[in-house]
Copies of this chain bind each other. A is one copy, B any other.
Amino acid sequence: MELDFYKKFSINIDLAVEAHDLLRGQTGREISGVIVDREKYENSSVTIVKIVEEQAEQLMGKPRGNYITIEAPSLRDNNRLAQQEVAEVLAKKLSSLFNLPENANILLVGLGNWNATPDALGPKVIEHSMVTRHLFKYAPEELGEGMRSVSAIAPGVLGITGIETAEIIKGIVEKIQPELVIVVDSLAAGSVDRIATTIQIADTGINPGSGIGNQRTGINLASMGVPVIAIGIPTVVHAAVIAQVTVEHFLEQLKANPLLNQIYQNLRPDFTNQVINQVLQPFAGNLMVTPKEIDSLISSTSKIVAGGISMALHPAVNFEDFNIYLN
C-alpha cells in the first residue's frame, strides 16, 4: 500500500514500524536517518525504530525519537505466559526511556472515549493502574519501599468535554508538576493481525492526528513542558484500509501479467479511491473493523499494559504483586 492512500483518506499511520515497512516496500531500500533494531523473546519480539535525522521525520511522518514495538500474536489466545512476558518486556522497555529518581512524580493519562469499546483502552488502563500519589500525603503507611508517586486521569474526549484533551492535561501538569507524563491511547493499525497483539512505546508523545480519536493537538514535550511517553495499542483497522489492501492484493496479480500491466498503470490513481468511497458510503473514514471479541481483548490488554506500567514505575512491584492488586 502506498502512503498516498493514507493521505487521501486522512488515515494516520499510527505505528512507526508500519510506516517504516511501507516506506521500505515502496522505495525498496533502507531509509536514511532511521535505525532499526530487533530483539527476540520467547513469546514476543521487539522492534526499535529510531528516527534520528530531520529528513527522516518528513518521510516517516513522525518526529525524531524512539518507537519501540512489542509484537506478541499469542496475546490473542489469552496465553498466560505471553501475557506475563509482554507485561515484563513492556516494563523493561518503558523503563529504558526514562531516568527518574525514586521520588519522581508521574502522571498517567488514558486517552479515548469510555463509551466506545475500541476507544476505551486508555481509560481502562487507568482503572487498573496502581495510583499512589494521594497515599504519600494521606496514608504513607500503605506504601512500601520502591513505590513512586503516580497519579492518573482519563479526561474523556472533545465531544464529551468540549475541551481539547491537551488543554486539560496541560492544566493538570501545571498544577501537579510531574517529572514524566505517560499517555495511553488506542491506535488504528494497517492490518487486523495487530489488533490487541502489538504495543508501541514512543518517547515522542502523542502528535496531531494520532490515535482513534485523532488528537488535534500534540501531547508532547513541546506542549506539556515535561517528557511525554506514549503507549499505543491497535484496536481497530480503518475499513478503508481493508478495502485498499484487498485491491492492492488484487492488483499485484494484474501487475504480474505483462498484458495487464499496462491497464493496471492506467487504472490506478483515482479509480481505487472512488471504489472505496462508494463502498464505505455514508460513513467514509469513520468505519472501523474490529474482531467480534473486541470487548474481551480490550479487557485483557488493558490489564497487561497497566501491569507493565505499574512494574516500570514502582520498582518494588512484580507481576504477581500486580495481579494480587487487580483482584
- Contacting A172 at CB < 8 Å: which of B167, B253, B267? B167
Contact present for B288 and A300 (CB under 8 Å): no
Contact present for A153 and B156 (CB under 8 Å): yes
Instruction: Determine whether A134 belongs to the interface, using a CB cutoff of 8 Å to chain B.
Output: yes
Cα distance A64–B149 in the bound complex, in angstroms: 38
Contact present for A290 and B292 (CB under 8 Å): no
A243-B242, A292-B116, A295-B117 in contact; A163/B176 too (CB < 8 A)?
yes
- Contacting A161 at CB < 8 Å: which of B153, B191, B259, B260? B153
Set of chain B residues within 8 Å of A162, measured between Cβ atoms? 131-135, 149-152
Contact present for A291 and B281 (CB under 8 Å): no
Instruction: Determine whether A174 belongs to the interface, using a CB cutoff of 8 Å to chain B.
Output: yes
A171-B171, A287-B291, A288-B290 in contact; A282/B212 too (CB < 8 A)?
no
Contact present for B163 and A276 (CB under 8 Å): no
Cβ-closest chain B residue relative to A137: B164
- Contacting A327 at CB < 8 Å: which of B126, B192, B195, B326? B326
Contact present for A192 and B280 (CB under 8 Å): yes
Cβ-closest chain B residue relative to A158: B134
Contact present for A246 and B192 (CB under 8 Å): no
Cβ-closest chain B residue relative to A175: B171
State the Cβ distance, A144 to closest chain B Cβ, in Å: 15
Set of chain B residues within 8 Å of A115, measured between Cβ atoms? 295-296
Set of chain B residues within 8 Å of A132, measured between Cβ atoms? 162
Instruction: Determine whether A257 belongs to the interface, using a CB cutoff of 8 Å to chain B.
Output: yes
Contact present for B171 and A161 (CB under 8 Å): no
Instruction: Determine whether A40 belongs to the interface, using a CB cutoff of 8 Å to chain B.
Output: no
Contact present for A292 and B239 (CB under 8 Å): no
Instruction: Determine whether A193 belongs to the interface, using a CB cutoff of 8 Å to chain B.
Output: yes
Interface string of A69-102 (1 = CB under 8 A from B): 0000100100010010000000000000000000
- Contacting A294 at CB < 8 Å: which of B116, B168, B263, B281? B116
State the Cβ distance, A225 to closest chain B Cβ, in Å: 13
Interface hits, A144-188 → B, CB 8 Å: 149-156, 158-164, 167-168, 170-176
State the Cβ distance, A16 to closest chain B Cβ, in Å: 22
Contact present for A253 and B271 (CB under 8 Å): yes
Chain A residues at the B interface, C-beta cutoff of 8 Å? 73, 76, 80, 83, 115-117, 119, 126-127, 131-135, 138, 149-156, 158-164, 167-168, 170-176, 191-193, 195, 212, 239, 242-243, 245-247, 249-250, 253, 257, 259-260, 263, 267, 271-272, 275-276, 278-283, 286-296, 300, 303, 323-324, 326-327
